[in-house]
Amino acid sequence: MATVSTHPTRSIQPPPGRIYRFFHSGRGDSPFRRLWINALLILACIVAIYPVLRVISVSLRPNNQLFSTSLDIIPATATFDNYIRLFTEKNFLVWIWNSIIITIVVATIGVALAATSAYAFSRWKFRMRSAGLVFLLTTQMIPAGMLLIPIYLLLAQLKMTNTYTGMVLAYIVSSIPFSVWILKGYYDTIPVDLEEAAMIDGAGRLGTFTRMVLPLSTPALAIVFLFNFMQSWQEFPVAYRIVTNETLWTWPLGIKAMQGQFQTEWGMYAAGSVLIMLPVVLLFLYSAKWLVSGLTLGSVKG
């Protein structure tokens, strides 16, 4: 005797149409989601790049067309006269050379001091350790303008005004606290077992630090170096107060000198701004491979 199935028959659903698949995601993002995300990213890039293009446009204009209301990025009468005058009429190369020397020295010394200090805070337990970390963090909450007078008085007593050494010391003081916090958070993510295994094999504390911890901390060191580099490269208030000798001017002081009370040399001002961007852009392009992992440093403790 044949049995009759009591289970209801399942209706076969037709596959979703193209419109449904466009707005709804399966295993990944839907095309619609990718579309508006890409559109937002493109819009953000345009908003960020357009002011730079306008600066380039002003740098290529003749002096009699600096105040033109044309929206052309490259003017019809484009010329490199502003760039030529910047090198022939101004000490632009001297300003750039001073900035490069001071910036590289500050970034290098800052990374070295911050790396060793952060390692001590991360690995060793000592009195006032927490208080020291809080104190370093508190110093970052003080407005930079309030530090100008104390820094100037200290450098004046040490007779370090109008010197490279004075500028380097002034920049390092303001950059090390934040660098210590960044590196300390990254060192906390490195397992102590690796260092203990190396010391069992005969490595000393210094050897373990230089051969194991520092190579593992390359992303964090790159971030700290970039932070110190950018802070020193574009610093203006401290240099404006402690440097009066024109031969020691950095580029912010030189660019500021183009701004007069009755007239501003906007063409050379814009040309100098374009040239100043190049070292920073090249540095970021070179260090991009470390930035991705370095942006999240210290966020997860392993």
Q: For the chain, which residues make up each domain, given as ranges?
A: 91-294
> Among 221-225, 244-248, 263-267, 286-290, where is mean pLDDT lowest?
286-290
At residue 9 the predicted structure's pLDDT band, cuts being 50, 70 and 90, is: low
At residue 43 the predicted structure's pLDDT band, cuts being 50, 70 and 90, is: very high
Cα-based distances in Å from 171 to 38, 58, 114, 151, 295: 40, 32, 14, 10, 23
Q: What is the dihedral of CA 113, 251, 137, 215, to 10 degrees?
A: -40
Reported as a single tens digit per residue, the pLDDT across 103-143 is: 999 999 999 999 998 888 888 887 888 888 888 878 777 77
- CATH value of 91-294 in 3.30.230.10, 3.30.420.40, 3.60.20.10, 1.10.3720.10: 1.10.3720.10
At residue 300 the predicted structure's pLDDT band, cuts being 50, 70 and 90, is: very low
Is there a contact between 155 and 173 (Cβ–Cβ < 8 Å)? Answer: no
CA–CA separation, 90 vs 241, rounded Å?
Answer: 21
pLDDT at 10: 54
Is there a contact between 81 and 140 (Cβ–Cβ < 8 Å)? Answer: no
At residue 94 the predicted structure's pLDDT band, cuts being 50, 70 and 90, is: very high
CA atoms within 13 A on the CB side of 299: 5
- Mean pLDDT estimate for the chain: 80
CA-wise closest residue to 225 among 100, 97, 98, 110: 110
The predicted model scores a pTM of: 0.77
